[in-house]
Amino acid sequence: MTYYKETLLSKIHSHQCMVAVIGLGYVGLPLAVELAKAGFRTIGIDLDQAKVDTINAGQSYISDIPAADISTVIGAGKLHATSDYSIIRECDTVSICVPTPLSKTHDPDLSYVIAAVDAVAEYLHPGMLVVLESTTYPGTTEEIIGPRLIHNGMQIGENVFVAFSPERIDPGRTDYLLKNTPKVIGGMTSNCGEIAMALYGQIVDQVVPVSSTAAAEMVKLLENTFRAVNIALVNEFLMMCDKLGLNAWEIIEAAATKPFGFTKFSPGPGVGGHCIPLDPHYLSWKLRTLNYNARFIQLASEINTSMPAYWVTRAAEMLNEVERSIKGSRVLVLGVTYKPNVDDIRESPALDIIRLLEARGALVSFHDPYIFTLQSEGLNTPYVELTTKILVEADCVLVATNHSNYDWGWIQQYACLIVDTRNAILGAMVTPGKQKVAQELVVING
């Protein structure tokens, strides 16, 4: 036991070990690049050959990772991408960063994780560390990952080491990146945790140990359940303010001046991305197996998923006020990514808004500085360039994503009716010179 542990620790500290990252998406690629920059010989594994070829050419397909960073580590021989899992037999550590989606019934889909773990198991050798980073329910690592790795006399904590370390990548952020975001780590044994902390301690400023893999899995679910529940709270608060004739954002901003006991969350069109719409359901599913109903999670999901319909109804109401029907109205949706300043449309509530608008007969078009087609999402909504003519001709402009490079003053000047789900345009605005049917610019912001 001491031999394998001490040998691997020595190789980690001297940067002599060979590390692998499985899954080169928004989580895996930043991790692979950071490991390579730290001096480890890093192998990125992905079944998408287009990603493999792009990385090996020194290019990037993720906006947060500059091509220069990839080309530098590729040129230095520190990073190489492949779709061949057999390279794992030469590796000392493997980090698994594959998707963990939900099924249509909101049950966990671990097929990508299981496929990756089975591939690792085929080439597993004594003295290897395997770390799962993919978000999942508490108990996954111990109940599923560990047992699938044990064969040919392998013993976890003695000659093979297994840990869970939840990813905390937030696409589009520039303040907190992989290096300066604390990394939570839980091992299946104390030896597993110690080795995983040694590895990640080479690339992050702070590692945070917890007592078990299940505790580490639960940390991730608490983080995103906290966000989901609080976003649902302010979304419902917005609807309550609407009933009372109050501006929710004004009240939230004022409440946020309290220096203690209040955390600011903002309402909007719903929740999207790779974490918040999905992760709480992993916890809810696990609790259902224990005959427990996670009521907050279910209620938060109901509220957040209802927001696209809420905003479409508000758009219809405001169109009615200027004597227009939503059916046949030209609606321009601004921003379709799940949050501002990223090119990610996963679980974006803007897509649900578009579907609901089209279902009600609206003639929908969209503009987004990062996205130019929606056909891959089952939509055929046309993309349009954002021009004065397009703004003037739209019966309604619906702001779904508040990208920072939009000129809101210019949009305000030419749009006749604005439904602002993000409070991107501040205050009540009156714009003279519009056609008679809409003499004032109407901004719905709660």
Q: How far apart are CA 352 and CA 443, in angstroms?
A: 21
* Residue 365: both structure tokens together: 């078009």
Angle at 56 between CA 50 and CA 58, to 5 degrees: 105
Which one-letter DSSP state was computed for residue 157? Answer: T
Q: DSSP assignment of 347-408, as one string? A: T-HHHHHHHHHHHTT-EEEEE-SS----GGGT--PPB----HHHHHH-SEEEE-S--TTS-H
Instruction: Give the list of residues 6+ apart from residue 54 with CB closer than 8 angstroms, or none.
Output: 60, 61
Q: How far apart are CA 246 and CA 445, in angstroms?
A: 10
Q: How far apart are CA 35 and CA 200, in angstroms?
A: 9
* Sign (positive or negative) of CA dihedral 28, 32, 38, 42: positive
Q: How far is CA 164 from the centre of its chain?
A: 19
**How many residues appear in the chain?**
446
Distances (CA, A) of 405 to 155, 368, 369, 385: 54, 10, 8, 14
Instruction: Give the list of residues 6+ apart from residue 208 with CB closer than 8 angstroms, or none.
Output: 182, 183, 184, 185
Across the beta sheet with 128-132, the strand order is 79-82, 41-45, 18-22, 93-96, 128-132, 160-164, 183-187, 207-209
Q: Is 275 a catalytic residue?
A: yes
Which of 385, 399, 383 has the alpha carbon at shortest distance from 444? 399
- The 8 Å CB, 24+ separation contacts for 421-425 are 421/268, 421/269, 421/307, 421/311, 421/353, 422/266, 422/268, 422/269, 422/340, 423/249, 423/266, 424/399, 425/399
Element holding 308 (H helix, E strand): helix 295-321
* Residue 175: both structure tokens together: 């303040």
Residue carrying structure tokens 């987004």: 368
* Residue 20: both structure tokens together: 């692998």
Catalytic residue among 17, 192, 241, 275, which? 275
Residues recognised as catalytic: 275
